A and B are shown apart, each in its own frame.
Chain A
Amino acid sequence: AQSVTQLGSHVSVSEGALVLLRCNYSSSVPPYLFWYVQYPNQGLQLLLKYTSAATLVKGINGFEAEFKKSETSFHLTKPSAHMSDAAEYFCAVSATNQGAQKLVFGQGTRLTINP
């Protein structure tokens, strides 16, 4: 069974600093991995996805993530934080079986940006 662990339920960084949100996955098959962002009172928006092509994946809003099979990790980074990045971030792994798909989400990391 697939699972995801997000390390750190809250992360706080200063504006302009590096953002690093950690995600480790467990999967018995090559995984599809996703990062979603949820702004207050909104739905989830896809930031980026890994589907076994390039290990370094670039997403929207300057975010990127690197798939490391040896470490079973898919950490999300952004070189310079902006106030508008404050939100909750979810890592997810796709469990696909014969056309059936579900996303298994981590518990989420709330990112706070300090001015």
Chain B
Amino acid sequence: DSGVTQTPKHLITATGQRVTLRCSPRSGDLSVYWYQQSLDQGLQFLIQYYNGEERAKGNILERFSAQQFPDLHSELNLSSLELGDSALYFCASSTTSLNEQFFGPGTRLTVL
């Protein structure tokens, strides 16, 4: 158990819908990262937040957005969902931006 929690574990929804994935980092970790894992793209970095502020952006679609709240938990919002958005979404956290990242168990999103 890494100490990073993600909810829900599984999510099944339809095309065009909007979903919110939630992540609670390890106690004391200020940085939160989101990654997408799919069969065709592999593991891709989406976005990083540090103490509430966006720090880095990867290949994140405009339909996707994220935020980190004052209690340091983070949410990833996915809207206008397409079949191709079906993937595993991982959250990771670290103490600072320079330390190793600890990954949560992931949320498996299925878009039908």
Q: Which residues of A contact B (CB under 8 A)?
A: 34, 36, 42-46, 49, 90, 96-97, 99-108
A-chain residues with CB within 8 Å of residue B101 when the two chains form the complex: 46, 101, 103
Interface size on B, residues (CB 8 A): 26
Q: A101 with B56: in contact, given A43-B2, A43-B90 (CB under 8 Å)?
A: yes
Residues in B14-36 with C-beta less than 8 Å from chain A? 31, 33, 35
In angstroms, Cα B101 to Cα A101, docked, is: 10
Nearest CB of A to B44, in Å: 8
Q: Which of A49, A99, A104, A107 contacts B45 (CB 8 A)?
A: A104
In angstroms, Cα B31 to Cα A80, docked, is: 36
Q: Mark B92-103, 1 if CB is under 8 A from A, else 0.
A: 101001101111
Main secondary structure of the interface of A (DSSP, over half): strand
Q: Which of A44, A49, A96, A104 contacts B97 (CB 8 A)?
A: A96
Q: Which of B42, B50, B56, B102 contacts A105 (CB 8 A)?
A: B42
A-chain residues with CB within 8 Å of residue B103 when the two chains form the complex: 36, 43-45
Of A46, A99, A104, which is in contact with the most chain B CB atoms at under 10 Å from its CB? A99
Check if B42 sits within 8 Å of A108, measured CB to CB. yes
B-chain residues with CB within 8 Å of residue A102 when the two chains form the complex: 33, 45, 48, 56, 58
